[in-house]
Amino acid sequence: MALGWREALDGLASAESPQRMDDGDDASDATGARAPGGFPEGAMAGRYARAKRSVTEWWEHAFLTALLARHEGQVKAAAAEAGMSGSYLWKVMKRNGM
């Protein structure tokens, strides 16, 4: 089930760093373990494409969460700050389970 922006904020408030969306590729990520720099565990090892995807997903989720928090969930205002359309922000939010 997708999280709304408020639920995502509540989850981040209790975590040291943002949790990435787990795609099931790496069981160690499900524990929430972090590699140096706050990246998801396993992000700095293994295949380049998987590591890049892991870090990108982690960053995108953290960025969206902070962006929406600054605008109290107002997608239009958040999209304007990010320099994207509201419809594209909705698409990115959906991709991130928000």
All structural domains of the chain with their residue ranges: 5-95
Q: Between 29 and 41, where is the model more confident?
A: 41
9-13, 68-72, 73-77: least confidently modelled range: 9-13
Predicted TM-score (pTM) of this structure: 0.56
Q: Which amino acid, one-letter code, is at 78?
A: A
Residue 5 DSSP SS3? helix
State pLDDT tens for residues 31-47.
455 555 666 666 666 78
Cα-based torsion angle of the residue sequence 2, 46, 37, 54 in order, rounded to the nearest 10 degrees: -20
Q: What would the mean pLDDT of 70-80 be, rounded to a whole number?
A: 96
C-alpha dist (Å) from residue 74 to 9, 23, 82: 14, 28, 12
